[in-house]
Amino acid sequence: MTFSKDFYWGGAVAANQCEGAWNVDGRGMARTDVTTGGTVNTPRMVTFIDKDGQKQKLPKHGFKLPEGAHFAVFDDELYPNHDGIDFYHHYKEDIALLKEMGFKMFRLSISWSRIYPTGEETEPNQAGLDFYRNVFTELRNAGIEPLVSIWHFDTPLALEEKYGDWQDRKYIELYEKYVTTIFKEYKGLVKYWLTFNEINNTINFLPDDASDEAFQEAYQHLHYQFVASARAVQIGHAIDPNYQIGCMICGITYYPLTSDPEDILFNRYKWEKGIFYCGDVQCKGKYPTYAKRLWKEHNVELDITEQDLVELKNGTVDLYTFSYYMSQSITTHKNEDTVGGNMSFGVRNPYLTYSDWGWALDPQGLRYYLEVVYDRYELPLMVVENGLGAFDTVEEDGSIHDDYRIDYYRAHIKEMDKAIEEGIDLIGYTTWGCIDLVSAGTGEMRKRYGFIYVDKHDDGTGTMKRSKKDSFYWYKKVIESNGENL
């Protein structure tokens, strides 16, 4: 086996999907607090009051707050992120379980609105700072290195209402204030940071036939985030030169479904628009040549200053990190056999099998992706999300036999092993939802990822009791043997 002795084996979660305690200790709201539950075929809805004072809801995917509307929470709706799995009150117990598995790294995110409830306060919320200090201390005491996502889709809702969704330059300085606070506060406790989780989702999941206006907004949103990220890298390094600050890309391996040159070109477009665009700016410190082509196609004109370009150049990341769940097959030909329900994840690839949520199971796609991005950036890499969302059955004796999940992980770890053998500098692996949590895409609990089961259900019931699945014991062995015993 090729894993170095200090390889970071671990798991990952995000604040809004696990913490719960949405309105506790001064926390402000984020988008997930006004988003209902859904399923693979029924979209999650965002709830708000329109300009005439009427209750309204619209699908989460592609959501934009209408003129004069205000986000709102309604008693007759169920918001699964409000309770999450109550990590806020269970973190000690949860970290003890991660320690038992032998975790070397735990990826989690800070909820911006716990630190700055509306984003615009001048002083941070002490209770929020204390919570993460306690969590990081608990992790350190357990010998687990924290990997902290600074933003995991959770912009303070007050900012979104006031300035649109990253449609204002003002966001850069507000994010700077937030990162300065946490970089100073957790110096000595945290070393690894990620500026924006799956930053590329904004463009990658924008439908290819979206309006020019939607493309304009997506590219502008990204530009402000790129500058914010580059500022964060510089601020972080000034506060602690040991900080390792990474980008985080939603890694999807795109394949053309046919050999038609149109499909080959379309596939290249998917990689450029969906995957490379963000990584190139964050790793190379400038926009790639093809950016002009992408903008031109949709008549995009961006607010980019000379100073912004300097910031991008001076704020390149130290690490490239990404999530990997699936490959996606795409075609320009008419093809109704799409997968993924209300969020399309391409068309069916006859050589692959699919999860119950339409995600292609493709471990080789992970190695392909690792090879492509290492060749492109030559930066240390981490796979910071990978996992199988599946229905789990609790047996009468309380055991959970999730061999499908073990098979999934085994196959992906084997591909990482091969990549390392080739010389790729892969330094860590944090599996997604190492403890069951609320799905980002569908808001479901029953789409479970964990080694640890949480008794929490889609109708809001459950005791929140934690229990160990078969995969818990398996992953413990994997870590113990440093990837030898699969």
- Which residue number, 22 or 287, has a Cβ lying nearer to ligand P53? 22
- The residue (of 163 and 325) whose beta carbon lies closer to ligand P53 is 325
Task: Closer to ligand P53 by CB, 40 or 379: give it.
Answer: 40
d(CA 291, CA 306): 17
Site for ligand P53 in 352-391 (CB under 6 A): 385, 389
Which residues have CB under 8 Å from 416's CB, separation 6+?
Answer: 366, 367, 370, 383, 426, 429
| Binder of ligand P53 out of 315, 441, 450, 483 (CB under 6 A) | 441
As a whole number of angstroms, the distance between CA 224 and CA 242 comes to 26
Tokens in use for 474? 């398996």
Which of 199, 223, 203 has the alpha carbon at shortest distance from 309?
223
DSSP at 183: H
Annotated catalytic residue 198 = yes
Q: Which stretch binds ligand P53 (CB under 6 A): 78-86, 125-133, 306-314, 436-444?
A: 436-444
Q: DSSP characters for 385-409?
A: E----B-----TTS----HHHHHHH
Pick from 316, 194, 193, 201: nearest CA to 251: 201
- CA-nearest of 185, 177, 34, 28 to 114 is 28
Q: Give catalytic status of residue 385 as yes or no.
A: yes
Pick from 250, 360, 400, 426: which binds ligand P53 (CB under 6 A)?
A: 250
135-143, 215-223, 368-376, 437-445 -> range binding ligand P53 (CB under 6 A):
437-445
386 to 425: interface string for ligand P53, x by CB under 6 A = ---x------------------------------------
List residues bridging with 319 in a β-sheet.
246
Catalytic residue among 198, 217, 311, 415: 198
Q: Does 14 bind ligand P53 (CB under 6 A)?
A: yes
Q: How far is the CB of 440 from ligand P53 (least distance, A)?
A: 4
Interface map 187-206 toward ligand P53 (x if CB under 6 A): ----------xx--------
Q: Where are the alpha helices (DSSP H) in 240-334?
A: 261-270, 277-284, 290-297, 306-314
Task: Please state the closest distance from residue 149 (CB atom) to ligand P53, in A.
Answer: 9
Q: Which of residues 443-462 bind ligand P53 (CB under 6 A)?
A: 447
Site for ligand P53 in 315-344 (CB under 6 A): 323, 325
Residue 50: burial class (beta carbons within 10 Å; 0-12, 13-18, 19+):
middle
Sequence-distant contacts of 55-62: CB under 8 A, at least 24 apart: 59/342, 60/35, 61/205, 61/342, 61/343, 62/207, 62/210, 62/214
C-alpha span between 58 and 92 (Å, rounded): 37
Spell out the alpha helix ranges (H) of 315-402: 363-377
Lookup: tokens for 362: 């493709």
* Residue 18 CB, nearest approach to ligand P53 (Å): 10
Q: Residues 408, 387: contact at Cβ < 8 Å?
A: yes
| Interface residue with ligand P53, options 106, 193, 226, 432 (CB under 6 A) | 432
Which region among 43-51, 120-128, 433-441, 464-472 touches ligand P53 (by CB under 6 A)?
Answer: 433-441
* Number of residues in contact with ligand P53 under rule CB under 6 A: 15
Among 439, 448, 466, 475, binds ligand P53 (CB under 6 A): 439
The letter for the amino acid at 97 is L
Q: Which of 138, 385, 415, 444 is catalytic?
A: 385
Task: CB nearer to ligand P53: give 197 or 327.
Answer: 197
User: Minimum distance between the CB of residue 6 and ligand P53, rounded to whole angstroms?
Assistant: 25
Query: Which residue stretch of 25-33, 138-146, 224-232, 435-443 sits at the interface with ligand P53 (rule: CB under 6 A)?
Result: 435-443
Q: Give catalytic residue positions.
A: 198, 385
Interacting residues with ligand P53 (CB under 6 A):
14, 17, 197-198, 250, 323, 325, 385, 389, 432, 439-442, 447
